[in-house]
Amino acid sequence: MVPKIIVHGGAWNIPKRFHQAHLEGCSKAVQAVYADLKNGLSALEAVERAVNELEADPTFNAGRGSYLNVKGEIELDAIICDGKTLNFGAVAAVQNILHPVSVAKILLNHPEHCFLAGNGLKDFLKEHHIAEVAVEDLLTQRELVYYRKIKGDPNFTTRKPFEPAPGDTVGAVALDDNGNLAAATSTGGTPRKLPGRVGDSPVIGAGAYADNQLGAISASGFGEAIMKILLAKLVCDNFKDLPAMAAARFGITQLRKRVNGLGGVIGINRTGTYAYCHNTPFMAYAYYDTKKGIVSHIKMDGMPSDRV
């Protein structure tokens, strides 16, 4: 198989002044792993490393640069999925960690459990000597300003269509030269969320899914809607009978039709064809094209007729 990788930096109403940083951040994440992927890096390692790049980049709502919850705290969700085994690792509402996807990756190899949250997750971090970082390492001035702006606004709601906000969830999907697929998603969730709120990102089949027999997907957007239709699994199931792009489009159509949801997906089907679609005003993504090299986009290529 020719290795493939696609990453996203969120489907949202990303303000124009942040577009360049989104394009560059997504391109850098592909750049950081593609040479190694061509030289035998596994799809799992590739998606973890690509998402690590995006988590460290303050442009995105994941790791550094995440939204603050209503109490002014940062709580992160992440998942990583292995298409060969259908195994996954996921963490929810974890604090003081720069790379939650790497904690999820450790869980992927846990003999008993896939998904951790709460005090047990804190113990797990200690047991695995995962260094906590100071809040200041995750918090950006941009998010502090945004938090103060929306904190007391009685009209603010994350469900308001196309509320302009700095960014969203990140994710990566890869296919390696052995034909194995993997997907990973990492997020700071939604702005001004309730403490303990968990979105779609760490939920298997919602925020990500990977199955070598179908394909792999990472999703972004309004988690409460995405979870209800298990968007990532829905698109993967449709890879069976539809061309890759049509399957992505079907998923996003259902997101709107069934649960009035807004979001986007990126993916790769089992034959190595890329898929991407969104119905938010913008989604940032980049992928490696064997002829053109790294291709990055941030544009309205979703479904204009479906927009509110």
Q: Is 199 in the site for ligand GLY (CB under 6 A)?
A: yes
> What is the rounded CA–CA span in Å between residue 102 and residue 225?
26
Give the residue among 104, 56, 40, 58 at the shortest CA–CA distance from 78.
Answer: 104
Number of other residues whose CB lies within 10 A of the CB of residue 197: 18
Nearer to ligand GLY, 25 or 188 (CB): 188
| Part of the chain binding ligand GLY (CB under 6 A), chosen from 23-31, 40-48, 171-179, 214-222 | 214-222
Question: Site map for ligand GLY, 132-171, x if CB under 6 A?
Answer: -------------------------------------x--
The one-letter amino acid code at 84 reads K
- 85, 140, 157, 169: which one is catalytic? 169
Q: Residue 208: in which H helix or E strand, if any?
A: strand 208-211
Residue 306 C-beta: closest distance to ligand GLY, Å: 18
Tokens 């997906």, residue? 265
| Part of the chain binding ligand GLY (CB under 6 A), chosen from 100-108, 149-157, 175-183, 194-202 | 194-202
Strands 274-278 and 115-117 come out as unpaired
Cβ(89)–Cβ(110) under 8 Å?
yes
Residue 129 C-beta: closest distance to ligand GLY, Å: 28
Nearer to ligand GLY, 45 or 163 (CB): 163
Residue 61 C-beta: closest distance to ligand GLY, Å: 8
Cβ(27)–Cβ(149) under 8 Å?
no
Phi and psi angles of residue 301, each rounded to the nearest 5 degrees, phi first: -110, 25
Q: Residue 137: in which H helix or E strand, if any?
A: helix 135-138
Nearer to ligand GLY, 3 or 89 (CB): 89
Number of residues that bind ligand GLY (CB under 6 A): 11
Out of 58, 100, 205, 221, point to the residue binding ligand GLY (CB under 6 A).
221
| Part of the chain binding ligand GLY (CB under 6 A), chosen from 36-44, 184-192, 272-280, 291-299 | 184-192
> What is the rounded CA–CA span in Å between residue 203 and residue 196?
14
Out of 48, 75, 200, 237, point to the residue binding ligand GLY (CB under 6 A).
200
Q: Is 102 in the site for ligand GLY (CB under 6 A)?
A: no
For residue 231, CA distances in Å to 45, 223, 251 come to 24, 10, 6
Catalytic annotation on 85?
no
With a CB cutoff of 8 Å and minimum separation 6, the contacts of 175 are 1, 3, 4, 5, 43, 181, 216, 268, 272
Out of 187, 218, 269, 279, point to the residue binding ligand GLY (CB under 6 A).
187
Interface residue list for ligand GLY (CB under 6 A): 169, 187, 189-190, 199-201, 220-223
- Residues that are catalytic: 169
